[in-house]
Structure 1
Amino acid sequence: MYDVIIIGAGPIGLACGIEAKKAGLEYVIIDKGCLVNSIYNYPLNMSFFSTSERLEIGGVPFISHANKPNRFEALEYYRRVALSWDLKLKLYEEVNSSVKEGDLFTIKTSKGTYQSRAIILATGFYDIPYMMNVPGEDLPKVKHYYDEPHPYFGQKIVVVGAANSAVDVALETYRKGAEVTMVIREDGIRDTVKYWVKPDIENRIKEESISSYFHSEIKAIREHEVDIETPEGVVTLENDFVLAMTGYKPNFSLMDSLGIAFQDDPMHTPVFNDQTQETNVENLYLAGVVCGGLKTNKWFIENSRVHADVIIADLSAKLK
């Protein structure tokens, strides 16, 4: 029996665990992957947009060598946070179902059953990619996560997307010896792409160092080819890999199973009290990027760290 179960061991889930421990609540943090699983799945050479102090939680200093920390430094930092606070973690344990009866939640996972008086959902959005839903998407050559450029040296690759991830992948693989083609549904690179990177990718496209198809989509993928639907018709290209940087979405099926309601808007925004983070289900709270629904660029570590303080303050007052 716990006072609160925190689903998600990312930075915001860890922050919630720290606040719960400080408040003297019985808690546990459950995650279907490793510690800060989303950050682990970032590209190996990724650097954060923010400086390290804006990523700090639990009063543990985050010191980085450069102005903006990288993935390796973040993984080391959050491991240190978990050890410093001796957080109660259940990793590689997926939540399969949840039922609320009276004042108690019963959660069944891949490894056991837990009961609690409250739940904090801090699952982020990075674990479920948007699928293209085209023939051949299940081939091993198709990747929805990118790690590093070396495997693509000398290969013909298609990068799908026009946002930051797609642009970073296209530029990095091109500069490490890949033959890169971008397939983009829109009429250009998105305006939200980092301002210091956008001119770079646009110039590479303009000089045709990187090929591009705008207003276009992948139609089919085969072992050595891809079909691209373009305004001029279907184009077939020789191809070794497809890197589908199509974005990610929250675990809506888990939210549905918990009884969370959604606003009637295109972003599928969950219903919650923005003063307490409590959803329409009593004692069920949302923390972090999951609060934005499909608008996954609204909440970050930097601006949602405060959710932990708000939630635990509200929950502590109720449980006294």
Structure 2
Amino acid sequence: MTNKKNLLENQNHYDILIIGAGPIGMACAIEAQKAGLSYLIIEKGALVNSLFNYPVFMTFFSTSQKLEIGGVPFVTINPKPNRNEAVEYYRRVAETFNLNINLFETVKQVTKNEDIFELSTSKASYTSNNVIVATGFYDVPLLMNVPGEELPKVTHYYKDPHLYAFQNVVVVGANNSGVDAALETYRKGANVTMVIRSGELGPNVKYWVRPDIENRIKEGSISAHFNSELLEIRENEVDIRTPDGIKTISNDFVIAMTGYQPDFAMLRKFGIELPESLCPAYNDETMETNVKGLYLAGVVCGGLDTHKLFIENSRVHAEMIVKNISG
């Protein structure tokens, strides 16, 4: 009992510790604030770090209203907001609510002592009655596992097309991120080749973008190898396995838009059960995991199915969690 009393009297003790300062982590903090609960958000990078690392000219599929949190209007003159507008919007939300956030602080370990969580980071130690993991899925790319993937010219995070002007660029993948990278780098003068594992473009490619990429491929402005895969990456060329055999082409950069996954190693370290499907175990009415007092919020709940949850349909997690904690 003495040990627990000391933990509760710790000046770094909170009702809730929230891991991740993305839109859903911020939504959880806003709900905690409304409920009169003490909280702290801990984020290893910048505010809304995943959105910050999105391509500079990315346009959201969702309307601005569906991205709103905390009742703060997201005003834009465009039908769909872009990445820069979203980053600024969430910064203003954090400012409006004066959210308690520690940025550029990495969570190292979460342990439980009786019913109190002890959390250690790269900068400090904290205790709390509850922990919410709202870390998204953008931190761990799905690797191609091909020779040469470790070369500096290979990236799984496409940012700005200007870097690729007048270069020979291979884009791996045919969903929104791959299509955007192909079109934007092509329009900066790159010689673009797409390598697509299936026989067609991704089914969820944005409807206003699909005709553009289809026409660029049809006219030959962008080369596309369907039912193909990258075999090897070398300093100045790559090998592609195609239905017509192995092709070797000149190459300066590879943009591997192969997708991302939650940090499963971190979830296991926290004691969260991960079945073979890799979909974390949680109560879908309260978002509480198999560890009492440890909750999941946002895209991290979907496991490998990262197309199931988005900002607009996981904002409700914040209300569900805080209601259960304060109830």
**With structure 1 as the length reference, what TM-score do the two structures score?**
0.95
**Residue 160 (structure 1) shift:** 0.3
Give the AA of the match of 2:164: Y
User: 1:193-204 to 2 correspondence within 5 Å?
Assistant: 193-204=205-216
Match of 1:60 in 2: 72
**Residue 200 (structure 1) shift:** 2.5
Secondary structure of residue in 1 paired with 2:18 = strand
Over residues 86-117 of structure 1, what are the superposed CA-to-partner deviations in whole Å (9 max), with x where a residue is unaligned?
A: 11111111111111121011111111111111
Over residues 103-157 of structure 1, what are the superposed CA-to-partner deviations in whole Å (9 max), with x where a residue is unaligned?
A: 0111111111111111101000111111112222122211111112222121110
Aligned counterparts of 1:71 and 1:204: Cα–Cα separation in 2: 24
**Residue 262 (structure 1) shift:** 2.5
Give the AA of the match of 1:53: Q
Segments of 5+ residues of structure 1 without an aligned counterpart are none
User: 1:103-252 to 2 correspondence within 5 Å?
Assistant: 103-252=115-264
**Residue 196 (structure 1) shift:** 2.6
Q: Within the alignment, does 1:287 sit opposite 2:309 as a pair?
A: no
Give the superposed CA RMSD: 1.3
Match of 1:12 in 2: 24
Over residues 189-244 of structure 1, what are the superposed CA-to-partner deviations in whole Å (9 max), with x where a residue is unaligned?
A: 12221223223222322222211222222122111111122233322111011001
Aligned length: 315
Match of 1:278 in 2: 288
Secondary structure of residue in 2 paired with 1:117 = strand
Are the aligned partners of 2:61 and 2:206 in contact in 1 as well (CA < 8 Å)? no
Give the AA of the match of 1:274: D
Aligned counterparts of 1:202 and 1:139: Cα–Cα separation in 2: 30
Match of 1:87 in 2: 99
Aligned counterparts of 1:193 and 1:135: Cα–Cα separation in 2: 29
Give the AA of the match of 1:144: H
Give the AA of the match of 2:237: E
Sequence identity, in percent?
A: 62
Match of 1:312 in 2: 322
Secondary structure of residue in 1 paired with 2:177 = helix
Over residues 246-275 of structure 1, what are the superposed CA-to-partner deviations in whole Å (9 max), with x where a residue is unaligned?
A: 11111111110111112443xx21111111
Q: Within the alignment, does 1:269 sit opposite 2:276 as a pair?
A: no
Secondary structure of residue in 1 paired with 2:221 = coil
Aligned counterparts of 1:117 and 1:132: Cα–Cα separation in 2: 40
Runs of 4 or more off by more than 3 Å in structure 1? none
Segments of 5+ residues of structure 2 without an aligned counterpart are 1-12
Aligned counterparts of 1:254 and 1:288: Cα–Cα separation in 2: 16
Which of residues 91, 96, 104 in structure 1 aligns to 2:108? 96
Aligned counterparts of 1:208 and 1:12: Cα–Cα separation in 2: 42
Secondary structure of residue in 1 paired with 2:14 = coil
Moved more, 247-256 or 97-106: 97-106
Are the aligned partners of 2:17 and 2:131 in contact in 1 as well (CA < 8 Å)? yes
